[in-house]
Each structure stands twice: as C-alpha cells, then as structure tokens.
Amino acid sequence: MKYDASVMKSTVPPPRWQELVKPFQQAQNRRAVWQVVNTILPLGVSYYLMYRSLSWHYGATILLTLVAAGLSIRTFIIQHDCGHGSFFSSQKANDLVGTFCGFLSLIPYYQWRHEHAIHHATSGNLARRGVGDVTTLTVREYLALNRWQRIGYAIYRQPLVMLLIGPTFIFGIMSRVVGPHSGRREKLNVHLTTGMVLAQLAGWSWLIGWQTVLLLWAPVFLIAGAVGIWLFYVQHQYENTYWRAPEEWDYSPSALEGSSYYRLPRLLQWFTGNIGFHHIHHLSPRIPNYRLEECHDQTPLFQKVTTFGIWESLRCARLRLWDDENRRMVGFDYARSRPAQPPEVTA
C-alpha cells in the first residue's frame, strides 16, 4: 500500500479545490444514456444466457453469473450517481432512472439517497458515526466493552461475515425496513421497491419456476452484494484513513485522506463504474462516475493520495479499530496489548 505521510499532509486541498473540480461537475447526457444502455441491456442478456446455459452445464451458468454480478454493480453505480444528482443534467431524469435501478439492485432509491448524503456529510467524524458507514470503534471504546460485546463486535468485523452474511442482511432485510431518518417520500419508496422486487420474483417464478429463479438470481445477488460491501469497506478502512473529533474534523481532508484511490484493472474499473476514484467522489459528489478518471488524470493534487491495488487491499481486512492516539487503524491484537482505558468523549 503506497503511503507517505509527508505527501498526505500536502493533499489537504488549498481554497481553490472547488475550482479544480468545477470543470468536471457538468453531467454529459449522451454519456449517461450510453452508460444506461451498455449496462441494463447486457444485464438482461446475461440473465437470458444464464437461463439458456442451465440446459448445458451449471458451470457455464456460474461463469455468466460473474458477468451479471459485475453489471449489477454497475447498475447500482448509476443509481448512486442519480442519487447525487450528477448522472443526468435533469433531476427528474436522475430520480426516474435511479428509482428504476433501485428495483434491480433491491435498494430503495430515495431512502438510500438520503442516508448516503448523511454519510458524505459526516464521513470521518467520530461524533457522527452510524449512518451509511461501517461501524468502527476506537481502541478505547473497544477496551471499555465487556467480553460478550467484544465478541459481538469481532463477529461483525469478521470479513467473511460481512461478505457472506452482509449482502442478505443489508440488501435483503435492512433495505426492506424504513430507516429512522426517513421521511414520507423515503417510506413510500421503501414499500414500492419491496413490492416491485416481490412482483419480479413472483412473476419469474411463475414463468420458469422458483427453483430456476433461485439458481439464477441468488448467486448474482450474493456476489454483487459481497463485492459492493468490499468496495465500500476497503475505500475507507485502511491504516492511514481519516477519523477526527468534531472540533478537528474538516470536510476536504476527510475526503482526500479518508477515501482511497483503489487502482483496479481496466475491466473491473468498468464494471465498478470508476468508484475506485473514491477520494475524488467524496470531495465532489457532483462529478458523474464517467468523468472521475479524467478529473484524476488531469489534476496532480488528486494523484497524491493513499493508493492500492487488489493484492495490497487485502491487508485492510485485519484492521478493525481506530487508534486515536496514533491516528491509524489497527487490529485486535494491538488493542489487547494495551491496558483498559475509559472511552473518550467525542461529542
């Protein structure tokens, strides 16, 4: 993992960072429409080919599942950009396409948009954890827990639990529940999305049988969900990420220091809709995904951030706690070697 503390200090943007991102904030409707076409249509084709492949060999079905899962992630990225109002120049178009993508991703568009906006506004603020982020305790908070609470947190932070159970819990269950921060529109959208998901499953089960639907849909859901959770996790949970008390917290360094550049192979970058340029996205959510790479390439400031590839990112899985004294993420072994201390006050 590439990191240089002296370089990171220089990445706190000067007052002109708004000027640096402004040229890339304009949506380009042709590119947006083309992205919808080259994502949604291939997704439908991939499901059809998966269905046809069942009569050949289920191994071929699984290979096609990887394609469908990648396209499902790309579909969610479109929904994600629509939620930020950045995908199309028209807010109405963003809302219509975002809502439709929510029916495919199982994630209610308006509720997710609201909670994700909170995540962007509070990311890295120790006093405002808990909405749209991965629950992260400080070392002091962890040491103040009793034995069973520590076991519960350790289970929650276990990568296999997050990646295997997480998709079903987050996208299958929690997305069906009205959030505590939801208003009337968000509540209606949750129920509408749930109704549309059930209608799709019922309709396809009637046409081709529920067993076939399960064989086709479940692997795509689990793979896409696991990859989505991993992408979100690894782009905020690395050693030199950014967490600060509210009196020290600042928006721009929280974006550039608390969000990584996940350097992916070109094909995976395409399937994940350039979300690897997460530091730029957090700094300026108004930049559509199809312009993030050009913003990165044309702005040297945005190239001087924590950067890692797939192999290096795997090391992030062992980091579970924030050490506020040394300002870095650490593992459980580090915390257990320290004497118990009272939890710090973050509000």
Number of domains comprising the chain:
1
Q: For the segment 125-150, what is each residue's pLDDT rounded down to a tens digit?
A: 999 987 878 899 999 999 999 999 99
Domain that holds residue 310: 5-336
Q: Which pLDDT value is given to residue 5?
A: 37
Instruction: Judge whether 343 lies within some domain.
Output: no
Using pLDDT thresholds of 50, 70 and 90, give the confidence band for residue 178: confident
Residue for token pair 């992408």: 231
For residues 159 and 317, the answer to whether their CB atoms sit within 8 Å is yes
| Distance separating alpha carbons of residues 192 and 200, to the nearest angstrom | 12
For residues 134 and 228, the answer to whether their CB atoms sit within 8 Å is no
Instruction: Judge whether 344 lies within some domain.
Output: no
Q: Which pLDDT value is given to residue 10?
A: 43
Instruction: Judge whether 285 lies within some domain.
Output: yes
Instruction: Judge whether 341 lies within some domain.
Output: no
Beta strands in the chain (DSSP E): 137-138, 261-262, 307-308, 321-323, 328-330
Q: For the segment 149-173, what is each residue's pLDDT rounded down to a tens digit?
A: 999 999 999 988 989 998 888 888 8
Q: Is the pLDDT of residue 339 over 80?
A: no
For residues 240 and 8, the answer to whether their CB atoms sit within 8 Å is yes
Q: Which pLDDT value is given to residue 58?
A: 85
Q: Which pLDDT value is given to residue 281?
A: 96
What does pTM read for this prediction?
0.89
The secondary element (H helix, E strand) that includes residue 202 is: helix 184-208
Integer angstrom CA distances of residue 228 from 80, 232, 322: 12, 6, 23
Instruction: State what percent of residues in the chain have pLDDT above 90.
Output: 77
| Distance separating alpha carbons of residues 80 and 98, to the nearest angstrom | 7
Mean pLDDT in residue range 338-344: 57
Using pLDDT thresholds of 50, 70 and 90, give the confidence band for residue 340: low
Q: Which pLDDT value is given to residue 57?
A: 87
Q: For the segment 268-324, what is each residue's pLDDT rounded down to a tens digit?
A: 999 999 999 999 999 999 999 999 999 999 998 899 899 999 999 999 999 999 999
Instruction: Judge whether 345 lies within some domain.
Output: no
Q: Which pLDDT value is given to residue 59?
A: 87
Q: For the segment 273-284, what is each residue's pLDDT rounded down to a tens digit?
A: 999 999 999 999
Q: Which pLDDT value is given to residue 337?
A: 78
Instruction: State what percent of residues in the chain have pLDDT above 70.
Output: 93
| Distance separating alpha carbons of residues 344 and 142, to the nearest angstrom | 11
Amino acid of residue 100: F
Instruction: Judge whether 21 lies within some domain.
Output: yes
Please state, rounded to an integer, the average pLDDT across all residues of the chain: 90
Instruction: Judge whether 197 lies within some domain.
Output: yes
| Distance separating alpha carbons of residues 74 and 67, to the nearest angstrom | 11
Q: What are phi and psi of 321, to 5 degrees?
A: -135, 155
